[in-house]
Chain A
Amino acid sequence: MEKRKKDFFGIFFETGIYRVGILIVMCVVMSFISRDFFKVSNFLNIFRQSSVLLVLAACTTGCILTHGIDNSIGGVMSLCGCACGYFLNHHVSISVAIILTILIGMSFGCINGFLVGVVKIPPFVSTYGVSYIANGLALILMGSDIFSGFPKEFRMLASGNVLGFPLITIIALGVTFLMYQLFQRSKFGKQVYCVGANYTTAKYSGINTLLTLFLVYIISGCGAAMGGILQVARQSAAQAGMGDTFQMTAIAAIVIGGTSMAGGEGSVFGAVIGALILTLIVNAMNLLGVPALAQSIVTGAIIVLAVLLDVQMKKIQAARAEATA
């Protein structure tokens, strides 16, 4: 087969590498504006801050790839964080607490998978109802209390360093790499893309669509649980509603990274870029001393503009593909 020659812009568009370009441009601009930005300590800080979002976004990418959405990650994350805090405060050993918490997250993923795959309720609606249930359970467990005073070894998850690199980031990168292997490099990943691109076709070509949906939502629930655990370790406190802000931010990170909400298109790598972009903005605003009240204006604007840029880029890409074809 003849190997088509690609010019620079072809590679630029087709691989979606320009998103890395956005990230680099942001870094360059910031290092000119703020003297504190281009420092190793600040970059480690950005990595540390982005870890929880990274785990959530990487694990939920699967749902969006199947033309679904998981609106329950925020609620499940709150519940799992609170449950983890509860276990730790009731003298459950750390490893058992973490395993139990992840099992809770996976069981909520199972419920989502059941509602989406078997009952066939639109994912937006069913996961949304499940988020109410999870949030409510967290509230029942906690009331307005805050759990704190966790063992030092548990807090090491967030504050520890391995060879000068934050442990929490290593965990997050490990999870992300696992997701990359799963969605981009395995047979299961191919099936996920097929289900997202065309459910009926996938079904008739012999893919176990039900199992795929189940697994995708279980992975997402598992990610929400891990995000909850890491966030509790970071804050060294657990309270109900701690996952609320992460819900939309995680989905925004995925979409900024170029994953289409119509399913079947996108990547885990994109989610990583999206999560880094969103964290970088917050970090930059803190360095520049933007008041907390004004930060949500910038975040909101950047989310819309980033996705707008992405949509326009895809249009150009489609036009180019048509021209060369």
Chain B
Amino acid sequence: MKNKKPRKGALQIVGSIEPVIWMLAIIIITFSFTGEKFLSWGNTINIIKQASPFLILALAETMAVLVGQIDLSVGNNMAFCTVIIALLMRSGMPVWLCAVAGVLTGACCGLLNGIFIARFKVPAYITTFGFGTMFYGVGSLITGGVSIPAMEDHFRFLADGSVFGIPMVMIIALLVFGVVWLLVYRTSFGRNMYGLGGNREALFLGGVDPVKAEVIIFTIIGVLVGTAGILFAARSASGHPDYGKQWEFNAIAATIIGGNSFSEGNGNIFKTMLGVLFIQILKTGLNISGVSPQSQSFLLGLIVVVAISTDVLLKARKEA
């Protein structure tokens, strides 16, 4: 008995910290030994720049997970937005109008998803996959499968520029994060979101229309996807329907690694932020340490599985 007590205490302490935090600590320490330039200022800025549009996309995915759904179309819809932005810019539209059009495109895609999921009760897995495929097709058809340049200087500034030494992308991403935070944690709408993920009937009895709420949430997801599209188009100075390849999976992976639960409709956008940082730092660190890109997918998968397993097992033990 005497031996058992402190061990349980240690486990409890480890269990109370989100696994993503100690995993972040482990990889940062490891990479600072294996990669020479890993802890430099330049690399930090690089990681932040890469992670910013990714964060917005992952936030969109987290919103879907919060209401107990999944969005497999964020990547393709985002790429479709970059195509629209680039096409409009080529036709001589002012930059701000192109950006607005990009966000609106995203919102329309999201609205379509939302109507089919909430109103017609088509499973989100199928709806978002189907519409994602469709928008990918529309994007490839109107571009003919080639990338459309978007070289406007003001537009490039969004990705490359900095204000007082802070990268512009980071400012935008943090602004978006702040808005989402306010929406989720400081409004009644945000509380309804948790209700949608947890107990829909209770929500309905409480006088909220779950269908309407869900449609609005998917539209907001679309707006976020459109915003991410602006940053992606600015970063690569072009629009292409293939830009979204694998991004929905990265977004889902970030949401999962952050420790958001897919089953009970609970989640936290701060966890997602940590998940995004983790994946970006891991990728950059592996590149700097000279690990081949082929092995990275394997390592990422292994880490996802191990991290979630420990998380689930530790939580189960804590409850027991």
Contact = CB atoms under 8 A, between A and B. Distances in A.
B123 A115 contact: no
Interface string B285-320: 000000001111111111011001100110010000
Interface stretch (A31-39, A120-128, A151-159): A120-128
Interface stretch (B132-140, B173-181, B183-191): B132-140
Contacts of A308: 116, 120, 122
Nearest to B300: A132
B129 A252 contact: yes
A140 interface: yes
Contacts of A131: 301
B134 A301 contact: yes
A251 B253 CA distance: 20
A296 B123 contact: no
Contacts of B256: 125, 128-129
Contacts of A120: 312, 316
Interface string B217-245: 00000000000000000000000000000
Contact of B137 (A124, A139, A297): A297
B136 to A, nearest CB: 6
A131 B129 CA distance: 17
Given A132-B297, A132-B300, A311-B122, A248 B134 contact: no
Contacts of B294: 136, 139-140, 143
B305 A130 contact: yes
A294 interface: yes
Give the dominant DSSP class at B's interface: helix
A298 B130 CA distance: 9
A279 B144 CA distance: 24
A140 B131 CA distance: 32
A248 B252 contact: no
Contact of B126 (A126, A134, A304): A304
Given A294-B137, A297-B137, A311-B120, A129 B304 contact: yes
A299 interface: yes
A317 to B, nearest CB: 14
B308 A293 contact: no
A133 B127 contact: no
B43 interface: no
B141 interface: yes
A137 interface: yes
A279 to B, nearest CB: 16
A140 B305 CA distance: 19
B127 A121 contact: no
A122 B263 contact: yes
Q: Which 3 A-B pairs have the closest CB atoms?
A: A136-B298, A132-B301, A300-B134
